[in-house]
Amino acid sequence: MKLALFIPCYIDAFFPEVGIATLELLERLGCSVEYPLDQTCCGQPMANSGCQDDAAPAEAQLVRCFQGFDTVVGPSGSCVHHVRFHLDAIEQTPQTQKVRGSTRELVEFLHDDLKVEAFPWASFPHKVGLHNSCTAVRGLGHARPSERVNDLYFSKTGDLLGKVQGLELVEIDRPDECCGFGGSFCVTDEAVSAKMGYDKVQDFYRHGVEYIASADMSCLLHMKGVIDRLNLPLKVIHIAQILNGGPL
């Protein structure tokens, strides 16, 4: 399957290993992956602040980069959610609509599109706390939101991780409470963001988690910042890295 790789700006800058793992994983699963070099950012930081005018150039650049592809895959729930649901600072031309409709997040691509049955190369004998970001759960439908008490439980991320040898998923007290990253919220509402991050990290730590795993590196970036400040023996890892089975 031929597809384009969408690497969010902060992953390009700070977590290239997540991009590498995503690329390698997709190739292992038989995809032919191209990485358009001129991609920058999906526009989310500006759009989330309500600044449509400031978001438009980045959004236009994204469409320019990806309009030639039938499928775009990116390892970020919040960025993909922005593309599919909020990329409207620019004119909704046929190309724009096509790019918006064909952008897939990694977990949903693996689980729903490729329907991957196994990751035979992957082994991860650790206690893992799964963090489904808010956009992943309530925006993209990665798992049943805890508010939907009577809905049947499901978790796409849990299903994928369940196929990794040795991996032990650990439940925490507040499984889908927001970690507090929230985009520029993390600095504009610093006290609340930090407290939310502290509470979230403590919840994982209390339950004996070794690795916090997520499909959203932005949440992990925030939680890692807290972990490092508190000097806790916790590590963060992107799901792509686990599923790829490669060096961490």
Partner 1 sequence: MTQVVDPEARAARFIALEIHESTHDRLVWGMRQHRDKAVAGIPEWEELRELASQIKEHTLTHLDKYLEEFEAKATSLGTHVHWARDAEEHNSVVYDILSAHRVKSVIKSKSMLQEECGMTPFLQNRGIEVTESDLGERIQQLSNEPPSHIVVPAIHKLRTDVAELFAKDLGTDPKNSDPHYLAEAMRNNARPRFMAADAGMTGGNFAVAETGGFVVCTNEGNADIGASVPPLHVASIGIEKLIPRARDLGVFLRMLSRSALGTPMTQYTSHFHGPRRGGELHVVLVDNTRSTRLGSPDFWHALKCIRCGACMNTCPVYRRGGGLSYGATYSGPIGVILDPGFDLRKYRELPYHSSLCGSCTEVCPVKIDISDQIYKWRRVVAAAGLLSLTKRVGMSALGTTLAHPTLFDAAESVAETVLAHAPRSLLYNSLNPWGKHRELPTVPKQTFRQWYLENRKKGS
Q: Among candidates 108, 112, 43, which has minimal Cα distance to 79?
A: 43
Give the 3-state secondary structure of residue 33: strand
Site for partner 1 in 223-242 (CB under 8 A): 224-226, 228-229
Q: How far is the CB of 247 from partner 1 (least distance, A)?
A: 13
Q: How far is the CB of 148 from partner 1 (least distance, A)?
A: 7
Q: How far is the CB of 177 from partner 1 (least distance, A)?
A: 6
Q: CA 78 from chain center: how many Å? A: 6
Q: Which is nearer to partner 1, 40 or 97 (CB)?
A: 40
Which tokens sit at 230? 């508190």
# residues near partner 1 by CB under 8 A: 77
The DSSP secondary-structure symbol of 68 reads: T
Q: How far is the CB of 89 from partner 1 (least distance, A)?
A: 10
Q: Show the CA angle centred on residue 63, arms to residues 58 and 65, nearest 5°.
A: 95
128, amino acid identity? V
Max CA distance (Å), the chain? 50
Q: Which is nearer to partner 1, 127 or 235 (CB)?
A: 235
Task: Select the span of 48-56, 114-122, 152-160, 206-214 touching partner 1 (CB under 8 A).
Answer: 48-56
Site for partner 1 in 4-23 (CB under 8 A): 7, 9, 11-17, 19-20, 23
Q: Which is nearer to partner 1, 164 or 172 (CB)?
A: 172
Task: Measure the CA–CA gap between 169 and 124, rounded to whole angstroms.
Answer: 11
Q: Among candidates 162, 161, 141, which has minimal Cα distance to 152?
A: 141
Provide the mask over 157-186, with x wherever binding to partner 1 is found by CB under 8 A and - wherever it is not. -----------------x-xxx-xxxxxxx
**Residue 56: CB partners within 8 Å, gap ≥ 6?**
43, 89, 90
Q: How far is the CB of 196 from partner 1 (least distance, A)?
A: 5
Asked if residue 130 binds partner 1 (CB under 8 A), the reply is no
Q: How far is the CB of 117 from partner 1 (least distance, A)?
A: 28
Asked if residue 91 binds partner 1 (CB under 8 A), the reply is no
Q: Among candidates 146, 70, 128, 133, which has minimal Cα distance to 107?
A: 133
218, amino acid identity? S
Asked if residue 196 binds partner 1 (CB under 8 A), the reply is yes
Q: Which of 147, 152, 166, 247 is in the footprint of partner 1 by CB under 8 A?
A: 147
Give the 3-state secondary structure of residue 143: strand
Q: Which is nearer to partner 1, 24 or 159 (CB)?
A: 24
Q: Which is nearer to partner 1, 48 or 71 (CB)?
A: 48
Q: How far is the CB of 170 from partner 1 (least distance, A)?
A: 20
**Residue 214: CB partners within 8 Å, gap ≥ 6?**
130, 131, 132, 133, 220, 236, 238, 239
